[in-house]
């Protein structure tokens, strides 16, 4: 499927879209991004993604010229132009344009990109058989360097290195710890464990990104009657768990069946995981429709 890109007011195919070589994210990773899913011509969790993005722009001090309602309307407009039923939106906002680290000396008009296309992180059969995961030697960034709630382009270098580790070992994902040795997250997914019917996930203080899908799944699990806890977990908790699964916008909800060649539970996707996967699939029908234009609030 061809990708459509809206960049600073211009809509074009991906192949002809151009970003300045002096874009501050290109030079220094000085930008934010969101990945957002389209299900059945509806944008899933659009408002939650935009809220996180704009929290990030305030934290980093971006001088936004586009309001949240304006960006929301523009995303829906680009989705209509793309005319797809199922897809993936990549939203980038960078500080501006100019050579030099100091933001005072660049053009601080943010560059905004909305790309609509497709992304399949894992093969379809992986959702049935589950992912094999390895432990990564790379740690997540500490909060005193950059707050992990910030979905900043520049923070993903270690995640890419960890993903390369997984690739080299033939694994589907890599599990990253924090500097204290507690479980944090996988390279692009949040981690959940199930033990005695309790759904457990790393505490946000462990250095995780508080994923939109993570928050959604926690709510859905509680609706299904499961107790959900946020804890300080170690690899001991993985190896003694009955089940495990990962969540993310690109990953959705996918079982995790082993860590470092050691089976989790019986080495198969478990009943709690499968029930949450089914409930999540229903939830994805509740997105924001884009076929009818919405008025932009004054």
Catalytic residue among 3, 45, 74, 151: 151
DSSP 8-class letter at 22: T
Of 122, 53, 60, 123, give the one whose Cα is nearest residue 89.
53
Q: In angstroms, rounded to a whole number, what is the distance separating the alpha carbons of residues 252 and 246?
A: 8
Spell out the SS3 assignment of 156-184.
Answer: HHHHHHHHHHHHHCCCCEEEEECCCCCEE
Q: Which of 169, 21, 152 is nearest to 97 (CA)?
A: 21
276 with 221: CB under 8 angstroms? yes
If 0-12 CB within 10 Å is exposed, 13-18 middle and 19+ buried, where does residue 148 land? Answer: buried
DSSP state of 99: S
Q: State the Cα–Cα distance between residues 95 and 107, nearest whole angstrom.
A: 9
Whether 169 is a known active-site residue: answer no
Catalytically annotated residues: 151
């Amino acid at each position: 499927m061809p990708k459509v890109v809206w960049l600073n007011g211009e809509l074009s195919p991906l192949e002809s879209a151009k970003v300045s070589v002096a874009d501050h994210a290109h030079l220094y990773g000085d930008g934010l991004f969101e990945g957002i899913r389209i299900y059945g011509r509806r944008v899933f969790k659009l408002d939650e993604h935009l809220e996180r993005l704009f929290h990030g722009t305030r934290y980093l001090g971006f001088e936004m010229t586009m309001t949240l309602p304006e960006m929301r309307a523009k995303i829906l407009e680009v989705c209509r132009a793309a005319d797809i039923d199922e897809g993936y939106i990549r939203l980038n906002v960078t500080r501006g344009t100019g050579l030099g680290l100091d933001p005072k000396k660049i053009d601080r008009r943010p560059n905004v990109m909305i790309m609509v296309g497709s992304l399949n992180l894992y093969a379809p059969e992986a959702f049935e058989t589950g992912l094999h995961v390895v432990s990564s030697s790379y740690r997540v960034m500490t909060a005193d360097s950059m707050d992990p709630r910030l979905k900043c382009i520049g923070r993903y270098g270690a995640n890419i290195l960890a993903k390369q580790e997984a690739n080299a070992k033939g694994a589907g994902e890599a599990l990253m710890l924090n500097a204290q040795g507690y479980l944090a997250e996988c390279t692009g997914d949040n981690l959940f464990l199930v033990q005695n019917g309790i759904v457990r996930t790393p505490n946000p203080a462990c250095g995780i990104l508080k994923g939109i899908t993570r928050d959604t799944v926690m709510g859905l699990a509680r609706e299904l009657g499961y107790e959900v806890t946020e804890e300080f977990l170690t690899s001991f908790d993985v190896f003694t768990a009955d089940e495990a699964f990962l969540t993310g916008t690109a990953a959705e909800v996918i079982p995790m069946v082993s860590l470092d060649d050691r089976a989790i539970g019986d080495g198969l996707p478990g009943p709690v995981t499968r029930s949450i996967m089914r409930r999540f699939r229903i939830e994805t029908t509740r997105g924001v429709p884009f076929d009818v234009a919405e008025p932009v609030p004054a």
